[in-house]
Amino acid sequence: MLTKKQLDLLEFIHRRLQQDGVPPSFDEMKVALDLRSKSGIHRLITALEERGFIRRLAHRARAIEILRLPENSKEYSNRGPAGAGAAIGSATGVANFGSSPGGSVQAENDQPRQGGTAAAIELSVMGRIAAGVPIEAINQISHQVAVPQAMLSSNGRHYALEVRGDSMINAGINDGDIVVIRETDTADDGDIVVALVADEEATLKRLFRRDGAISLEAENPAYPTRVYPEDQVKVQGRLVGLIRNY
């Protein structure tokens, strides 16, 4: 039996995993539960772990795996009972970056994955993309990854890339993440895009058009904004989702 605070924290972590694909920080937990210090959060986390509701993963910051939910939880009916070893958003965290849900995806080499409660599509991981200085353009398939179908729009092809670098960390994109990209050659100001620079270097950045030039902006103050003539930058896709393995 959980106390009210323990249950509130478990449900808060569950909701954040479902929405963002990553657990909340201890500061966010403290604010959500209206506690004065993080020491109270540490005690609640320890209690949840001792009772078998969560598991903390060693050597990874903010890595919490939900093993089960109590039947009196408001989130239980949304998820269903957890079987042995079941987890939510822990082995794989998924974040949606504003794609339109619904519809089947007409994408080459995309195959629905059988089993589970949510439809998934196998997307090709086309290689690595720099979230730092540009690297050589991606041009070959390295492996496949399962992506929730609701993350993908019905009017376009999609592919995935493995992120290398930390220039987009303030947008929640870390080194080693898999980003899901919808193929397009257009983008609005502020979109996170795959940009091909000078037909030979690809990078993941926010795009802005200013004074007849293209600015590719990082989400990390350690990296400067790079400005190119418009004819030197080609948009090859827009970010619609992210998958993180723990």
Residues labelled catalytic:
167, 205
Neighbours of 147 (CB within 10 A): 24
Q: Where are the alpha helices (DSSP H) in 26-70?
A: 26-32, 38-50
Q: Could you tell me which residues are beta bridge partners of residue 109?
A: none
Neighbours of 104 (CB within 10 A): 12
Residue with tokens 């089947």: 104
Q: Is residue 236 within 8 Å of 194, Cβ to Cβ?
A: yes
Q: Is residue 140 within 8 Å of 159, Cβ to Cβ?
A: no
Task: Report d(CA 105, CA 240) in Å as an integer.
Answer: 14
Q: What is the DSSP letter of 101?
A: P
Q: Is residue 179 within 8 Å of 161, Cβ to Cβ?
A: yes
